[in-house]
Amino acid sequence: MIVGFIGLGIMGKPMSKNILKAGYKLVVYNRSAPAVNELVSLGAIRADSPMKVAEKCDAIITMLPNSPEVREVCLGENGIIKGAKPGTTVIDMSSIDPNETKAIGADLEKKNISMLDAPVSGGEPKAIDGTLSVMVGGNKEDFDKFYDLLMTMASSVVYVGNLGSGNVAKLANQVIVAVNIAAVSEALALAKKNGADPKLVYEAIRGGLAGSTVLDAKAPMMLAHDFKPGFRMELHIKDLNNVINAANATNADVPLSSKVLDMMKSLQEEGYGKEDHSALFRYFE
């Protein structure tokens, strides 16, 4: 199997390295050259456009910022659709609007190109060590066919339903994370403003029902005012905008997501958008 990889950013570059380590033949494309050069030095094959990637590959993975970029790479003038053979599969591992996933998949299907949406959770550290969590939507036969490929980048790969379901699961994940970060921020700020040591409050509650992965990952960052990004706030804003889009398309009510999105946008306007999403603590301070 020859695999294509388009989008060698913070996540895509380490993910593609893990595919190479697993022994797959890999063809890569990225708009900026340094990441491509690095992958080529490790044994990957360079391509000059998404179309050229598609001409060489049986499966093409995309890891891109948002829906417009995925649409352009898949369906644009030099897109995958122009070079892919019938029977090719696109595995989009970006986090985008599930309604766009379905629309892009429908256009690819007209050329007998199948699509899986397989967004990830875990951030750069887990992309580097190959322990991402992947949630996958699409045809179950395609999922089974590419399960081993996906596991080269992950510790968990779970099938969640038809095309678009992967991104629905990722949006659900992002809602839960965002609301948890807001709750931790509010609680620690409340403790501080009422004269309690927020570090001791954190230690007191982390073993009870309030304990969570988010609490343990983000409370120490808030207490230290260390907002070096693991996941930038501006990216969480993008995800929550996709939550709102998906909710509007289905008449779902998402008041908590809307409120946290407003908080994050206000901080972005103050210049904090490139900080870690735990910088939401600043809002409550």
CATH of the domain at 218: 1.10.1040.10
Mean pLDDT of 69-78: 97
| Contact residues for 135 (Cβ-Cβ < 8 A; gap 6+) | 118, 119, 120, 121, 158, 160, 165, 166, 169, 170, 173
Structure-block tokens of residue 53: 């990637």
Domain end among 162, 184, 206: 162
CA separation for the pair 195, 199 (Å, rounded): 12
Q: Do 23 and 158 belong together in one domain?
A: yes
Which three-class secondary structure state does DSSP give residue 120? strand
Give per-residue pLDDT as tens, 135-151: 999 999 999 999 999 99
**CATH number of the domain where residue 71 is located:** 3.40.50.720
CA separation for the pair 29, 7 (Å, rounded): 7
Structure-block tokens of residue 41: 């030095």
Q: Which secondary structure element, helix H or strand E, spans residue 117, and what is its range? A: strand 114-117
Give percent above pLDDT 90 in the chain.
98
Active site includes 170? yes
pLDDT of residue 173: 95
Give per-residue pLDDT as tens, 7-66: 999 999 999 999 999 999 999 999 999 999 999 999 999 999 999 999 999 999 999 999
For residue 9, give its domain range: 2-162
Domain end among 141, 162, 183: 162
Domain end among 128, 162, 196: 162
CA nearest 85: which of 196, 180, 2? Answer: 2
Q: Do 189 and 261 belong together in one domain?
A: yes
Number of domains in the chain: 2
Instruction: Using the predicted structure, report yes or no on whether residue 132 has a pLDDT greater than 90.
Output: yes
Q: Which of 13, 170, 218, 238 is catalytic?
A: 170
Give per-residue pLDDT as tens, 219-257: 999 999 999 998 899 999 999 999 999 999 999 999 999
At residue 123 the predicted structure's pLDDT band, cuts being 50, 70 and 90, is confident
Determine the longest span between alpha carbons in the chain, in angstroms.
66
